[in-house]
Structure 1
Amino acid sequence: MNRSAGHIRSLGLLLARVGIGAVFLAHGLQKLNTWGHAGTAAAFDAMGAPLPDVTAFLATWVEILGGAALIAGLLVPLAGVLLAVDMIGAVFIAHIDSGIWVGDGGYELALALGAGALGLAAAGAGRLSLDALAAPRMGRKLRFAASPA
């Protein structure tokens, strides 16, 4: 890959990470600060989520920490996979019966966020990330993705 294409790729990954990460972070903070754990767990129970107290806690913190990790570019492959799993749960537990359109309570947003998170997990964080800064110091152990950062 030539140098210019590498810079464009890294800028694209940065913009994708920040955009997707911000939405996840906002949703996690909404669960924590607006609804609280009890309100989130009650909503999860009403949707038929298994172990609603546990899944509400996990979804809240995966979205907060995973969203922040995407924004910072830290452990992006791991964060991306965890966020994608979170969205698989959202699609099949909360939204599948309402069709695709988010305006009808459908899975459109959860599907897009999950696919975006999984794409970032596969692509890696790019050069403009904490992963890229830490990789040389860690002997490149943080480089999870097959493609160059």
Structure 2
Amino acid sequence: MRRWLYDIAALIARLIVGVIFMAHGLQKIKAGGVGPTAAGFAEMGIPMPQVAAGFTMAVELVGGALLILGLVTPLAALLLAVVCAAAAIFVHARNGIFISDGGFELVGGLGSAVLLLAAGGAGRFSLDHLIFGRRRERRRREADEVTPGAWYGGAERQGEGRADDGDPAHFADLADESERPAGGVGSERRAEGGDTAHLADQADETERGGPPKAAPGSLGDWPATARQTSTGRHAAPPAPDEPGGRRSEGESGSR
């Protein structure tokens, strides 16, 4: 809704402001052209009156017509703003505000209007939109149709396909796999030694009254020959039994 309001307001402003500028340019032509206009500029103290007169007349006529058509509007509006600023600085600013006293009322209003058009554009009811606006919209639609993976140089993720290493989606795959159980989807994750989940399992066993489970790789999994006794010595390994149930010869019963 706001866009439509601006388009309508820009159209009205372009038509009125463009007609005013063209009327001032035609007035100077009817007054005799560049010569008499330059003489009047010299009396008002405008520097380089010949150049200023020719530039002002051309910008008022051509720039006003471009505003009405809405063609290259930002450039035309900026040139017209320069004319208004020069007129205000060299002629009208010292006379106050009101135009009846020779003040900057008219050039100030016109200059503000063309600056707004230079910043906001001519709107959709203009040749600018007809020529350049549709081209920008077509490029925007083409950019929207490009697959996201192409912007990162990676492969497009389709179905169960994996992204390449250059695609940011690849890092998401790595994160998913790190969270997924080692045995595949649906398998329970077993706690390993040094893992916080293993410590939680030991605490649960202790609360239930049972001995804590030994972590894989801990002293609980070592053979009895490698365990240390309370005195700091290793316990002697038990004597192996013979197939018949008798101890091997040379071993005393005391052992």
- C-alpha displacement of 1:115: 0.7
**Letter matched to residue 97 of structure 1:** R
Task: Say if 1:107 and 1:136 are closer, same or farther in 2 by CA, change over 3 A.
Answer: closer
If the length of structure 2 is used for normalisation, what is the TM-score?
0.51
- C-alpha displacement of 1:9: 1.7
SS in 2 for 1:41: helix
Structure 2 Cα separation of the partners of residues 65 and 39 of structure 1: 20
The residue aligned with 2:163 is none
Percent identity of paired positions between Structure 1 and Structure 2: 46
SS in 2 for 1:57: helix
**Residues 53-92 of structure 1: pairs in structure 2 closer than 5 A:** 53-92=50-89
Query: Is 1:25 aligned with 2:22?
Result: yes
Query: Is 1:112 aligned with 2:112?
Result: no
The residue aligned with 1:103 is 100
Structure 2 Cα separation of the partners of residues 79 and 136 of structure 1: 18
If the length of structure 1 is used for normalisation, what is the TM-score?
0.86
- RCO greater where, 1 or 2, for CA within 8 Å and sep 6 or more? 1
Structure 1 unmatched ranges of 5 or more: 141-149
The residue aligned with 1:45 is 42
The structure with the largest alpha-carbon Rg is 2
Q: Could you report, residue by residue, the CA deviation over 1:28-74 in whole angstroms, capped at 9, with x for unpaired residues?
A: 11112234211110111111111100100000110111111100001
The residue aligned with 1:129 is 126
- C-alpha displacement of 1:136: 4.8
- C-alpha displacement of 1:6: 2.4
Structure 2 Cα separation of the partners of residues 136 and 71 of structure 1: 17
Q: Could you report, residue by residue, the CA deviation over 1:66-110 in whole angstroms, capped at 9, with x for unpaired residues?
A: 111100001110111111111000001111121111001111100
**Letter matched to residue 62 of structure 1:** V
Structure 2 Cα separation of the partners of residues 43 and 126 of structure 1: 37
SS in 1 for 2:31: helix
SS in 2 for 1:19: helix
Structure 1 Cα separation of the partners of residues 132 and 14 of structure 2: 18
Task: Say if 1:73 and 1:87 are closer, same or farther in 2 by CA, change over 3 A.
Answer: same
Structure 2 unmatched ranges of 5 or more: 137-255
**Letter matched to residue 25 of structure 1:** M
Say how many residue pairs are matched: 136
Structure 2 Cα separation of the partners of residues 125 and 132 of structure 1: 8
